[in-house]
């Protein structure tokens, strides 16, 4: 089983001052013990690094990226032009939801990979396609 990891999950795991830090760490450890693997996208990693660099520190953004690659539990999937086109369709269709374009790429990628669960704190993951948001 794979779970898609969103930007908010990475921020919560990395930033000890984040309101969801403890919940994220407990969830991640529990999933790791069960052997669950996570998927994410290069867009999500970029968004998380930009946030961490701006709001926490450049060093923390670097540590995040290094640890992500070393962990062995996260597969970083590059958003293809086809997924990006599908995401743009979602973005245009759901103007009323306030989905970010990165969210839309995540939704399109999740659908293409048949991943139904997300490690996310963003309610948008419940609003689109009935994905399950964890924890």
CA pair distance 54, 97, nearest whole angstrom: 26
pLDDT for 129 equals 84
Q: Is 0.75 surpassed by the pTM of this model?
A: yes
Q: Give Cβ neighbours of residue 24 (< 8 Å, ≥ 6 apart).
A: 9, 12, 13, 18, 119, 121, 135
Residue 130 is predicted with a pLDDT of 83
Exposed, middle or buried, 7 (CB in 10 Å: 0-12/13-18/19+)? buried
For residue 117, is pLDDT > 90?
yes
Please write the tens of the pLDDT for every residue from 76-114: 999 999 999 999 999 999 999 999 999 999 999 999 999
pLDDT at 68: 93
Q: Compute the average pLDDT of residues 116-122.
A: 96
The domains located in the chain, with CATH, are 2-134 (3.40.50.1010)
Output the pLDDT for position 72.
86
pLDDT of 91 reads 97
Tens digit of each residue's pLDDT (9 = 90 or more) over 5-39: 999 999 999 999 999 999 999 999 999 999 999 99
**Separation between Cα atoms, residue 52 and residue 56, nearest integer Å:** 5
How large is the average pLDDT for residues 45-64? 97
Segment holding 37, helix H or strand E: strand 37-41
């Amino acid at each position: 089983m794979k779970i898609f990891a969103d930007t908010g999950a990475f921020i919560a795991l990395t930033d000890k001052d984040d309101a969801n830090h403890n919940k994220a760490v407990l969830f991640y450890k529990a999933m790791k013990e069960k052997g669950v693997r996570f998927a994410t996208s290069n867009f999500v990693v970029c968004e998380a690094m930009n946030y961490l660099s701006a709001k926490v520190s450049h060093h923390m953004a670097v540590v995040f990226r290094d640890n992500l690659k070393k962990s062995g539990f996260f597969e970083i999937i590059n958003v293809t032009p086809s997924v990006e086109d599908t995401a743009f369709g979602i973005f245009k269709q759901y103007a009323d939801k306030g989905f970010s374009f990165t969210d839309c790429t995540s939704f399109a990628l999740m659908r293409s990979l048949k991943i139904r669960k997300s490690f996310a704190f963003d309610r948008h993951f419940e609003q689109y396609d009935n994905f399950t948001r964890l924890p």
